[in-house]
Amino acid sequence: MSATAPIDPGYVAELERRLAVTEAEFARVTEQNALLESSNAELTAANARLERMLSAARHARFGPSSEKGDPDQCNLFAEDIEVAEGQLAAAGDAADKALGKASRKRSSAKRNKGNLPDHLERVEEVIEPDSTFCPCGCGEMVKVGEDRTQRLDVVPAQFRVLVTVRPKYMCRTCDGKSHAQAPAPAPEFLVPRGLGTNRLAVHSVIAKFCDHLPFYRQAEIWRRDGIEVDRTMLANWAGRIAFHLAPIIDAMIDELKASDRLFADETTVPVLAPRTGKTRKDYLWAVVRDQRGWGGGDPPIVVFQHSRSRSAETAKKIFTGFKGGTLTVDGYAGYDALGDPKKTNQPWGITYCWTHWRRRFVEYSRTTSSPICTEMKERIGQLYRIETEIRGKDPDVRRAIRQKLSKPIVDALRPWLEAQLEMLPSSSDLTRHIRYGLKRWDGLTRFLDDGRLEMDTNAVENAIRPVPLTRKNALFAGNDDGAVTWARMASLVGTCKLNGINPQAYLEHVLDKILNGHMQEDIQYLLPWNFKPDGARHS
């Protein structure tokens, strides 16, 4: 056998060198690949976040503002069915009439057919037959009964001209001299020697701030009847009404200052900036007292105040003079200063809104399936089901039930959320949504210990809801005075609605009282919840 050739040490060294280079290159490629995978994961997360932001922006602009489905939208399909049924019924009636048959009796559909309230005027129309004489020649027949049907009718809005006549009298025989008697005093009008009555001015204001019909549209509607009233005149009437009713707003604010359980929120209002032709974004701040959830005796109130700023200083200014207590708000940081003893002399206990926290998970789940969101919505839903059962009950009862049923759910929620944070990336949106609530935990859970508190800001959000509708139709307020008028009228109309008062009847009544010299010290009698005129109808 031939001997094995010895291995060249140089060759071995070269192989080891090449292997080391290959391992180093492999390590470099592996590290680069890890960096690329990490960067790709970050880009994927960022892309998902941008998609959620885009979806949220689209939903905010074009979608419904509530997490609940709009029942009116659900009824659209049913309305189309009703239209088709109406066409079919009309066709059947026409065919029966053409054939000389009596109308077929159809089964009554199980639906709400409306009602005919007793206070509506009844106008009887008696339709007598062509002859009441017996065909056999026996003479005139005797009435033994009647068929009576009632149908709802409408008389379109009619304009009329009120002519005020004040006769003048003179005595021609007294001592041979002529003595004249001054005419009766003229009634006080909102606009002296103006075109419209007080009722017309109030009607215009209600149409805008209650029915969301801006002045320029009202002017167009009236023009169809040949009435030429410029929208600037309508705006002038609204400003005059707001001026005269300012003492009532002040009295409502005084009522709020004496309350220790309030809600607060704010919404934007566009205001035309002077000499620019552009609008700026101002704010209407809303403060609400609503004790109906726990059976409190004080009437509900909403007061709006206009401000150019949304800062914490504005919040402190609005709540200057209040006695303090508990304020239920959303998570906006501008209210935090109100709960800081170092920043205010009357610190509030700040309670945060569960609906706002839940909304974050609802919006996240619209674009990304997440079991955490599903679980959060279910657990918060359990709390709201409990709240539904105890609404309107005594505060002590509400607190006892919350301690027994709601507190265990809340106590178990926090450690579960903290455990989820351990498994989520620190930069993810879901992490941010969880931390939003954990940061405000004390304020979110304060309702458990006080039966007079609510879980959310729904009371003030419901009161604010008409403002965006008016804002959308009216486009903008012409100046700061217009925004102040907007705030005052929204306060009066909103408080009327909260108390079940017809705002048209109320404003007519109170404006007449003030114009005819109602004393300032008796202003309490003019507040909306004290409005009980004879024959007043509630809306």
DSSP class of residue 140 equals B
Q: List all residues 6 or more positions away from 486 whose beta carbon is below 8 Å from its beta carbon.
A: 209, 269, 284, 304, 306, 470, 477
DSSP class of 366: T
Check: CB of residue 217 under 8 Å from CB of residue 473.
yes
pLDDT above 90 for 409: yes
From the list 459, 538, 461, the residue with the least C-alpha distance to 504 is 538
Residue 517 lies in a domain: no
- State residue 109's pLDDT score: 47
- Per-residue pLDDT tens over the stretch 149-195: 887 776 777 778 888 888 877 777 775 455 666 677 777 777 777 77
Q: What percentage of the chain has pLDDT greater than the value 70? A: 78
Sheet holding 301-307, edge to edge: 301-307, 279-289, 261-272, 326-329, 349-352
pLDDT band at 338 (very low <50, low <70, confident <90, very high): confident
In tens, the pLDDT along 8-46 reads: 777 677 777 778 888 888 888 888 777 777 767 666 666
Asked if the structure places residue 395 within a domain, the reply is yes
Q: Average model confidence (pLDDT) for the chain?
A: 80
63 domain-assigned: no
pLDDT confidence of residue 77: 46
- Least confident among 66-75, 233-242, 252-261: 66-75
State the pLDDT confidence band at 356, using cuts at 50, 70 and 90. Answer: very high
pLDDT band for position 389 (50/70/90)?
very high
Its pTM stands at 0.72
Most confident stretch, 4-13, 438-447, 505-514: 438-447
Total of domains in the chain: 1
Q: Report the DSSP pairing between strands 349-352 and 261-272.
A: unpaired
The answer to whether residue 378 sits within a structural domain is yes
Give every CB contact of residue 348 below 8 A, 6+ residues apart in sequence: 319, 324, 325, 326, 327, 338, 339
All residues at 6 or more sequence positions from 396 whose CB lies less than 8 Å from its CB, including other chains: 451
Question: Has residue 422 been placed in a domain?
Answer: yes
Predicted local distance difference test score (pLDDT) of residue 65: 53
Is 246 among the domain residues? no
User: Given pLDDT bands bounded at 50, 70 and 90, which one contains residue 92?
Assistant: low
The most confident of 76-85, 449-458, 465-474, by mean pLDDT: 449-458
Out of 156-160, 516-520, 533-537, least confident range? 533-537
The answer to whether the beta carbons of residues 354 and 376 sit under 8 Å apart is: no
**Residue range(s) defining the domain that contains residue 406:** 354-456
pLDDT of residue 535: 44
Beta partners for residue 362, in sequence order: none
* Residue 522: predicted pLDDT: 81
pLDDT at site 55: 64
Phi–psi pair at 109, nearest 5 degrees = -75, 145
Distance CA 282, CA 279 (A): 9
What is the pLDDT at residue 81? 53
Judge whether residue 369 has pLDDT over 90.
Answer: no
| Residue linked to tokens 């809104």 | 353
Note the pLDDT of residue 48: 67
Average pLDDT score over residue span 349-359: 93
The token duo for 110 is: 């199980």
Give residue-wise pLDDT tens across range 372-383. Answer: 999 999 999 999
Cα 188 to Cα 529: distance, rounded to the nearest angstrom: 25
| Residue 76, pLDDT score | 43
- Kindly indicate the confidence band of residue 113, based on its pLDDT and cuts at 50, 70 and 90: low
Q: Report yes or no on 363 lying in a domain.
A: yes
Kind plus residue range of the DSSP H or E element containing 323: none
- Residue 388's pLDDT is 93
Domain contains 362: yes
